Amino acid sequence: MLMTRDYQADPLTGRPVTWTIEALDAPDPIRHGDAETAARLRAAAAWMRTMFAVVPLAVGDRARDAHRLGHETAHVANQFAAPYQVPDANFGWSARDACYSYGSFALDDDEALVITHWPPPCRFWNLVVWNQFMATYGPPRAPMPAAPSTVTAWWPIATAR
């Protein structure tokens, strides 16, 4: 898996980055056997554990034990957790110079999500609504704020001052 970030100063005139990937060497021959299959299954299981730790929102039951892997932070529905940084190393998609604050919401059919936020002095900030698989809602070129700014998201749930 390869994940990149592509920030556009002006989404109307900017162009997405174009990537070209090519293999420089021929692949090794495929080896079939119990040991190779077991090693591949262990690698796949390790990858899945890491990916589910990278996902910021719990998939299934939230881990109850304290851990330092991933971005799971203690919070309850309709509240944001305290902001934090990933201090020691980049983990998954995190950036060492960024702060994160996660929240989740649980709404009844007759309720709306309203978020009021006063961003700190910074060069960039954003508010992203994800499902637990890090899929965001809305168009791929939805506007994002450039600090300092006032933004009302295209979906009527967030305001910033």
- Better-predicted residue by pLDDT, 47 or 66: 47
The parent domain of residue 91 ranges over 79-158
Q: What is the pLDDT of residues 16-52, one digit of tens each?
A: 778 888 999 998 888 889 999 999 999 999 888 877 7
Kindly state whether residue 37 falls inside one of the protein's structural domains: no
Kindly state whether residue 122 falls inside one of the protein's structural domains: yes
* Torsion sign over Cα 70, 75, 81, 82: negative
Cα–Cα separations (whole angstroms), residue 131 to 53, 122, 143? 15, 26, 19
pLDDT value of residue 103: 74
Kindly state whether residue 5 falls inside one of the protein's structural domains: no
Kindly state whether residue 84 falls inside one of the protein's structural domains: yes
Q: What total number of domains does the chain contain?
A: 1
Apex CA 60: angle with CA 68 and CA 69, to 5°? 10
Radius of gyration of the chain (CA): 20
Kindly state whether residue 91 falls inside one of the protein's structural domains: yes
Kindly state whether residue 21 falls inside one of the protein's structural domains: no
Kindly state whether residue 98 falls inside one of the protein's structural domains: yes
- Better-predicted residue by pLDDT, 8 or 29: 29
pLDDT band at 160 (very low <50, low <70, confident <90, very high): very low
CA–CA distance, 34 with 41 (Å, rounded to integer)? 10
Q: Of the ranges 23-27, 61-65, 78-82, 129-133, which one carries the lowest mean pLDDT score?
A: 61-65
pLDDT value of residue 145: 52
pTM above 0.95, yes or no: no
pLDDT value of residue 159: 42
Kindly state whether residue 4 falls inside one of the protein's structural domains: no
